[in-house]
């Protein structure tokens, strides 16, 4: 689902889960994670996904203005 759903991908990138979702490579001398780590991570990911979707359904989200450097171009939208 991570590869086909931008919601999953965006949340995984933001939360730092991307490096744990596929075959683990040893990065920066980090020790391989034990099975217990993944058993705790999965319910956390599912909870965050359900909470995010519930927030959008119920209107519990926060809009904020962001700086978009469009150099006075009209009709340009800046998405984040």
Q: For 26-56, how does the pLDDT look when each residue is reduced to its tens digit (9 = 90+)?
A: 666 677 778 898 899 889 988 988 888 888 8
Which pair of structure tokens corresponds to residue 27?
Answer: 């990065």
Q: What total of structural domains would you count in the chain? A: 1
Domain of 47 in residue numbering reads as: 1-80
Instruction: Answer yes or no: is pLDDT of 75 > 70.
Output: no
CA 65 and chain centroid, separation: 20
Question: What is this structure's pTM?
Answer: 0.57
DSSP 22: S
Instruction: Answer yes or no: is pLDDT of 2 > 80.
Output: no
Instruction: Answer yes or no: is pLDDT of 69 > 70.
Output: no
For the residues 8-23, what does the mean pLDDT come to? 81
* Phi, psi at 14, each rounded to 5°: -65, -40
């Amino acid at each position: 689902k991570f590869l086909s759903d931008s919601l999953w991908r965006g949340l995984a990138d933001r939360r730092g889960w991307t490096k744990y979702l596929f075959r683990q490579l040893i990065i920066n001398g980090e020790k391989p994670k034990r099975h217990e780590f993944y058993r705790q991570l999965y319910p956390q990911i599912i909870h965050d996904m359900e909470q995010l979707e519930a927030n959008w359904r119920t209107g519990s989200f926060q809009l904020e203005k962001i700086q978009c450097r469009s150099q006075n171009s009209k009709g340009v939208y800046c998405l984040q």
